Amino acid sequence: MTTPHDDESLAPEIFVAFDLETTGLSPRDDRIVEVGAVRFDRAGNELGRFQSLVNPRRPIPARVQWIHGISDADVADAPEIAPVLLAFLGWIGPAEQTFLMAHIARVDAGFLGAELGRMGLAMPGHQVIDTLPLARKCWPGFRGHGLDALTAQLGLDSSDKHRALADSLRVRALWLALQDAGRFEPRVRYAIGDPTRSELIPRGWDALTEAARAGHLVQLEYSGGSRGPAPRTIAPRRFEHRGGLVYVVALCHADGKEKAFRLDRIERFEVLASVAAPPPA
């Protein structure tokens, strides 16, 4: 069987935890107002910081200002996104040397990709590790797994919440806490891409994507659910994002029903390429 990402080791030695503050939740309609990041090595030693406000050239809604505290006046004299984004990409370094990480990484990867798309620039090859599914798997009994909830329950610094640099420092601290707990295998990660042109699909799950396209069955070992760790056979259909997590939606052959399986809970899988899956009922 294939272990997720067993063909993609964490080769880079440099990590960058980053966060974006925006005018809203839509990469298509909203814009970035702040970029913050912290660079560190495998041991957690800090190697540098990046922080810049961004003028989005549009008003920041009052409800959003209430969350991150960034006002129109704060960004009035800030640079626009192009020089900030180019400086940020230069600061993080090439993809073969650096892994990025963010909490609910699809959102941050999508905002970066949308801005690059509007600038007419090619997407960089960096992968963005998602710390949300790692935290959910490591601490299933926590009251919540948003960054605020994890900050409170893990005793992380809660000052200056919802500002890009402060949240980046919390993501770094979360990553180190996951390492200490021995649960930090990054099974869900994204390439930076423009979600206004195509859906962002997690990297390293190409075999499941191809199985869905070809109509092949997949046998997987899954931690969680009513059946426990027993192997199960599924016919994958598509990926879905719910509450910051990513699922593969598939027809489960044990009961003939369509179910959603969290990617971070898939321990191993094998594509049964010689067997065609039946069409959905």
What phi and psi, each to the nearest 5 degrees, are found at residue 268?
Answer: -150, 155
Dihedral angle, C-alpha 212, 216, 221, 226, nearest 10 °:
70
Kindly give, in sequence order, each residue whose CB lies less than 8 Å from that of residue 26, ignoring residues fewer than 6 positions away.
Answer: none
User: How many C-beta neighbours within 10 Å does residue 60 have?
Assistant: 22
Distance CA 89, CA 32 (A): 15
User: How many C-beta neighbours within 10 Å does residue 78 have?
Assistant: 16
Kindly give, in sequence order, each residue whose CB lies less than 8 Å from that of residue 136, ignoring residues fewer than 6 positions away.
Answer: 145, 245, 264
Q: Please, what is the end-to-end C-alpha distance for the chain in angstroms?
A: 28
Q: Which of 126, 162, 241, 253 is catalytic?
A: 162
Known catalytic residue at 162 = yes
Distance CA 173, CA 155 (A): 10
Catalytically active residues are: 162
